[in-house]
């Protein structure tokens, strides 16, 4: 066994120089790291591998046996065998890291979505569940559910909450309409049609937002910024320009999303104005036979004369 280790140490030491030369020409062939660099090649084949070889040699010296042929051959093929294995190990660790990162991001998004839904409930906002639309849902409500699902698929729950706000305003305006008008009146049908058109325009805007967000859903802005900050000097001009272009695309998309969100805010304001204006309309007949001022004056007179009834009593 000690002779085998001696052979491994000799063979491993002899392969350091050839692999160093190969790595200086093409670092990707000699090191399993990504991105490969000549500095990693120099550190690996001038320090790390010779240190391992020297450690094996010193460990096997006390036995007094000479190196074996099997050890020589094992040392010669150790690096070409270890490189693909290390690449697979690094790839597995990177995939696990990415999977854990995605799970953490998904958990954070779910937590943030739950907080938004809780805040919406506390604020009196009705939260739509795209998987289970309301029982009385019409075509407009179903369209809102589809738009919200599209935004959730694009990983933008912060924008999907606009569908809940539009749905709440829509229900509120319809409730005010039903209170102020009879369902058979022409004004009721006309007002409901106009409200539906405004909400359908907001639904179209939500779908546009989902399309814009889905276009950059796979662009990790934080990763691009970290890479530019850490490896900016080592990157080539083309790669640096490509990374900066990704950031520009993210910024342009966010600007477009803000513009579309502002358009929906205008639609929400119109719905609020409609609800307030409709609430001010007096369409019912007064139930009192006299005005409030007359009733108050008669009540005052009755109170001022109430003591006479008491004195006149037997």
Closest by CA position to 162, among listed 205, 212, 119, 196: 205
| Helices and strands: H and E segment counts in the chain | 13, 0
Predicted local confidence at residue 122, as pLDDT: 47
Mean pLDDT of 19-44: 83
Domain ranges of the chain: 2-99, 125-280
Rounded-to-integer distance, Cα 186 and Cα 290, Å:
31
Query: What pTM, to 2 d.p., does this model score?
Result: 0.53
Q: What is the pLDDT of residues 191-201, one digit of tens each?
A: 888 888 888 88
Q: Which of 68, 66, 85 is nearest to 76 (CA)?
A: 68
Question: Is residue 153 pLDDT above 60, yes or no?
Answer: yes
Start-to-end CA distance of the chain, whole Å, equals: 130
pLDDT score of 268 more than 80: yes
Cα–Cα distance, 66 to 242 (Å, whole number): 56
Instruction: HSE, CB side, 13 Å, CA atoms: give it for residue 179.
Output: 14
């Amino acid at each position: 066994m000690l002779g085998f280790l001696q052979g491994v140490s000799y063979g491993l030491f002899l392969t350091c120089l050839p692999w160093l030369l190969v790595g200086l020409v093409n670092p990707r062939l000699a090191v399993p790291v990504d991105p490969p660099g000549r500095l990693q090649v120099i550190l690996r084949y001038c320090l790390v591998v010779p240190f391992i070889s020297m450690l094996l040699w010193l460990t096997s010296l006390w036995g007094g046996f000479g190196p074996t042929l099997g050890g020589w051959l094992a040392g010669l093929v150790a690096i070409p065998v270890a490189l693909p294995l290390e690449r697979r190990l690094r790839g597995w660790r990177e995939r696990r890291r990415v999977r854990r990162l995605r799970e953490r991001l998904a958990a954070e998004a779910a937590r943030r979505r739950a907080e938004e839904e809780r805040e919406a409930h506390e604020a009196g906002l009705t939260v739509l569940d795209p998987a289970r639309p309301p029982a009385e849902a019409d075509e407009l409500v179903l369209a809102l559910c589809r738009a919200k699902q599209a935004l959730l698929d694009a990983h933008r729950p912060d924008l999907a909450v606009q569908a809940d706000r539009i749905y709440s305003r829509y229900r509120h305006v319809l409730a005010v309409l039903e209170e102020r008008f009879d369902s058979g009146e022409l004004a009721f049908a006309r007002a409901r049609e106009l409200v539906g058109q405004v909400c359908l325009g907001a639904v179209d805007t939500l779908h546009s937002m989902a399309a814009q967000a889905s276009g950059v859903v796979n662009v990790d802005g934080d990763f691009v910024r970290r890479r530019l900050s850490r490896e900016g000097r080592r990157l080539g001009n083309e790669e640096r320009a490509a990374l900066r272009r990704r950031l520009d695309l993210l910024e342009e998309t966010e600007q477009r999303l803000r513009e579309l969100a502002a358009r929906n805010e205008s639609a929400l304001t119109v719905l609020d104005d409609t609800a307030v204006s409709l609430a001010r309309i007096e369409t019912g007949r007064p139930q009192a036979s006299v005005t409030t001022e007359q009733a108050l004056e008669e009540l005052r007179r009755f109170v001022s004369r109430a003591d006479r009834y008491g004195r006149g009593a037997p």
